[in-house]
Each structure stands twice: as structure tokens, then as C-alpha cells.
Amino acid sequence: MNLSLLRSDRSHTIIWIMVIIGVIFIARLFYLQIIQHAYYEAEALKEHETKFTIQAKRGFIYAKDGEKNTTPLVLNEPTFTVYADPRYVQDIDKTADTLRQIAGGNMIKDFEGLLKNKERQYAVLARQLNKDQADLLKKAQLPGIGLQTHERRVYPEGQLAAQVLGYVDTEGHGQYGLEQALDEQLAGKDGLLKTVTDVHGIPISVSGHDVQIPAQNGKNLALTIDRNIQAYVEQSLKAGLEKVQARHGSALVLDPKTGAVLAMANYPTYDPAKYYEVRDYKSFQNAVVADPYEAGSVVKSLTMAAGLNEGVVLPHSTFLNTGSTRVDDAVIRNVLQDVNGTRTMTEVLQHSLNTGVVHILRQLGGGELNRSARNKLFDYFSNHYFFGKQTGIEQSGETTGRIISPDEQEGNNVRYANMTFGQGMDTTMIQVASAFSSVINGGTYYKPHLIDGYLQDDNQVEKKQIEIVRPDVVKPDVSTNLREMLRTARAKTFPGVDKPGYIIGGKTGTSQIIDPKTGKYIDQNAIGTYIGFGGNSAPQYVIMIRVVDAKSAGYSGSVAAAPIFADLSNWMIDYLKIQPNR
């Protein structure tokens, strides 16, 4: 064998092997650097890029102060969240000790475990630090540790309108009241900054790879609530409840010309800045919208309005009151048994005669209590007064209440006879007050609302449009007649308590509470209600009071709720500077 030829073949083989290997390397480099360039560039960026949330500022909430929308009820103050990118934390023990010394009780559980997890790029270690703590942490210059600025809600007026406002939890979510109902509007939308940072998590450059989406701040709400009216209502309600040793109660003041809520109060109340101290969650609820109940005889004014509007009775129409009336297998009695005889419809309201409103129900059925009568009353309660439906007021937790339709087995004659005087159905205060406003304001049902508009940067209010739900609840002349009937009834029931020269009218209501154990009404507890209006030639305000479980003798509507109404009504006349009738 030729030895030189063999050596030449080996050389060629080695050369070809090297060429092939070279081609493989070149192909691999081409694949990595050209074809996979974008992928590896993105992976490299991930190692040094950090995402920052640009926190949107939550909107403020303002109340009226007379004619001005200048009184802040809810503002923000800065608070800080501590976060870590564990990949850049150098000395875990030192970092943990420093954080513990500065943040203390603000640290979350097992934050040290989060520091050790090098697979994470972002871990929250502490929340709700104040500015002093944040400044100390900045001076410590801990690698991998950063701060995010948030805002905490503060309440310059303390407990004022607490259940109306609600609160914001530690996660930044609105709870109860306006804060929850309008959480999306108030919260705005957070922005985003994605950029390259150093080992301390501080942005070090501005490049084409940066992504920045601006934050959209939340809207500033301008309420219909007048802080002066709200403050006096809360004061009067508390004093009135304490006087009769009642467990709790609520008050509502509406503008019947627009549906605007001027005040809405509940007692007991709470401090929204210290919501975490509250043990009974019912303290958070706005009972005016969230607590349906049998409103009792205040509903007689609405039954009367239906009868007047249908033309089956007039203010001077009479009926023979015998003190009781039989409906199928039940006997319905009046509370007062010394006013028997021929009575007018105005006297039905004055003496709160159950038999009188049952008489109206019969007239709706052509003189008999039948399906036709029930259908007509249900139509008024459901489609004129909107019972059993949410009003849509800007509050979380609004309930619908319940009225039984004639189509249901329970929607019988006895049920509907009871409904004429506010028993056998559940309504909320906001439903009853809105319906009452519609039958005394000329016949227009305005959507009840708390938002007057949105406060702009120039302190001007972008007004929300007033919504009319139904323009023909009752005829205008029916409304005029009903106002006079309610004025006469009040003047004879509570002589001398109202300021002279004004038209003040209203209706009491006392309803028994059903014992949950027996399902029957009991006499030991009762809910007293008063609803009324005041003004001169036209109603300027509607006030509704509810008192639960008063310990005073007598009927709660008259002895517990009515005095609070009188106090508020007289005060409102002075505050609104209403001129007396000439």
C-alpha cells in the first residue's frame, strides 16, 4: 500500500470533517443570531426589565355646602407598598432585619420566604407604610427592594354620611355605599411603565424598549348631599332615638322636584377611617336602601292617591266606618275605635283608618274586593310607585323589597287588603319616599340620586342630567288634592308643632315586627315611620323617618318618628330660607 496516498486520504477526510463542523457552527450562529435574534433579545431584556404600575389617583368625593360643591368628604393621602425583586437581593438576613425595623407590623407574613424565592421578579413585602417609613427605607438603599406609592382614603368630616360613602379596603377596592357602587368610576385605570432597571430596581435608561401607558385618574364626585343638612339630620336622628330608647333608625331628606337626596342617615354609624374596628357588618349597610320592611300606614297616602287618580273616591267622599271590616275569613280592625260613623277620605288619613283604605280597594273593583281590584292596586304599586324594583340610586346593596302579585297564590284578597295600609309587603325607605314625592309634586317620578355631577379641575361641576322615570304617576289635580288632605290630617293630628305660614303635610305609620320563630306579628317590637313634606305653594322637601323598637309608650309613628320629622321640617324651613305663604 502506498503510504503517501493513505496520508493524503486522511488529510482530505480531516479537512472535510472540519469544513462540515465549521458549516454546522456557522449555521447554528446564523440561527441564533439572525433567526432567533428577537427571542434571545427578549429573554435578555427580561433579566433586566422591570414592570412598574403607575397608580391612578382615586377620585375625591365632595358634598354641597349650601350652593357650593366645596366640602370634601373623602380625600387621599400617600401610603407606600414595599416590594422586592428577589433576584437582586444580596444579603437576605440584613435586608429582612432592616425591613422589620422600619416597617414593623406593616410587613406581611413570611416575607423572608418571598425574599429567598429567586424565581420571582416581584413580591409584595409590606403595605400601608407612611411617608416617614418610606423615607427611611429609601435611605437604606437595599438592593432589590423598591417602593410603590399608593393613596389611602381620609375623611375630613369624620363619621358624616359614613354609610352613604362606604370605605376602601387595603386592596384598594370600594366596599359599601358610593365607594363600591361607583368603584370603577372612582378608581380610574392604572398605567404601566416597563423599563430597564439597576440592581436597586431604579430605572437607568429611556429606550425604544420602554413601554409607558399613562394612568387615568378616577372621577371626582359632586354629591347632592348638603353637608349642613346631613350634619343636622344625623344629630336630630341620634337625639330622637336616644329619647325613646330605640335600637336604631334612619332618616332621609329628598328634593321632590328633582329626586336629589339632600341627606341620608343611619344610626348607629361608624368611622370609615377605622372600618376595621367594626364588629357588626350591619353598621356598614345603608338601611335606607338595603333594609326592606313593612312601612305600615304611611302607605295609605299612596293607596289614597291611586283611588283619587282612578276617580273612585274624592277628598270629600264618605263611607260608613264601623271599626272593622271582614275580608273573606279575616277581620281587619282599626286602631282607633272611637271614630265610628260616616267619615270622609281626608278623615281616613287623619285617623289612619284601615277600613277606609280597604273601602278604596273595593271601589277599585267596582264595589267589591275582587281580582280587578287587586290588579289595579298591583299596577299602581308596581308600575307607578315601582315597589319590588331597584330605584337605581348610586348605592351598593340596594334591595328590591317584595310585593306579591295577584297571579301568586298568596296574592289573595286578605293580602291585598293588608297591603292598602302597608302590611304584607316589603319596601325600602328610598322606594316609599320616591313614590311619595311623585304623588305630592304634581305626578312626576324622578329617579332618586346622590350624584349631582363631576367636579372638574377648574372646580366647575359637570352636571348629571335629572332622570324622569314616569311623568304621569298621578294627575296634577290629584296631587294638589292629596297635598291638601295630608296638610289637613297633619294639622289636626299634630296641632301647633309646625311653623305657621307654611304647608306641611304627612302621615304616620306603625308596623309590627314578625317574630322569626313563630312567623306571626308581635306587639313587643314595632317600627315607627313618618313621611311628610314641607314648603309654601309647592313642596320644597320630603322627609322620611324610621325608628326601630322604641321603648316609649304609644304608637311609634306618632311618638317616636313624628317628633324627629317636626324638628327637621322646622329646621329645613329656616335653612332653605323658604318664604311663607302670603
CA torsion angle 138 144 145 149 (round to 10): 90
What's the confidence (pLDDT) of residue 113? 82
- Predicted structure pTM score: 0.84
Long-range contacts of 270-277 (CB under 8 A, 24+ apart): 270/159, 270/162, 270/163, 271/155, 271/158, 271/159, 271/162, 272/153, 272/155, 272/159, 272/162, 272/165, 272/166, 272/167, 273/153, 273/154, 273/155, 273/158, 273/167, 275/167, 275/169, 275/175
What's the confidence (pLDDT) of residue 397? 95
Q: Residues 448, 469: contact at Cβ < 8 Å?
A: no
Strands 461-463 and 451-455, bridge-based pairing: antiparallel
Q: What is the per-residue DSSP string for 109-167?
A: TTHHHHHH-TT-S-EEEEEEE-HHHHHHHHHHT-TTEEEEEEEEEE-TTTTTTHHHH-E
End-to-end CA distance of the chain: 141
- Measured in whole angstroms, the distance separating CA 532 from the mean position of its chain's CA atoms is 24
pLDDT 10s digit of each residue in the chain, 582 long? 555 655 666 676 777 777 677 667 676 666 556 665 555 555 554 555 566 667 788 999 999 998 777 899 999 988 888 998 888 888 888 888 898 888 888 888 888 788 888 878 888 888 888 889 999 988 988 898 888 887 889 999 999 999 999 999 988 899 999 999 999 999 988 887 666 555 555 555 555 555 567 888 899 999 999 999 999 999 999 999 999 999 899 999 999 999 999 999 999 999 999 999 998 889 999 999 999 999 999 999 999 999 999 999 999 999 999 999 999 999 999 988 889 999 999 999 999 999 999 999 999 999 999 999 999 999 999 999 999 999 999 999 999 999 999 999 999 999 999 999 999 999 999 999 999 999 999 999 999 999 999 988 888 889 999 999 999 999 999 999 999 999 999 999 999 999 999 999 999 998 877 666 666 665 567 899 999 999 999 999 999 999 998 888 777 889 999 999 999 999 999 999 999 987
For 311-392, where are the alpha helices, taking DSSP H only? 345-350, 354-364, 371-379
Element (H, E) at 327: strand 324-327
**Cα separation, 434 vs 545, whole angstroms:** 14
Name the β-bridge partners of 216. Answer: 189
**Cα separation, 303 vs 359, whole angstroms:** 11
**Cα separation, 107 vs 100, whole angstroms:** 7
User: Domains of the chain (ranges plus CATH)?
Assistant: 50-219 (3.90.1310.10), 249-494 (3.40.710.10)
Q: Residues 111, 96: contact at Cβ < 8 Å?
A: yes
Joined grid coordinates for residue 96: 429582612
Q: What is the per-residue DSSP string for 243-276?
A: HTT-SEEEEEEE-TTT-BEEEEEEES---GGGGG
**Cα separation, 149 vs 78, whole angstroms:** 7
At 312 the three-state DSSP class reads coil
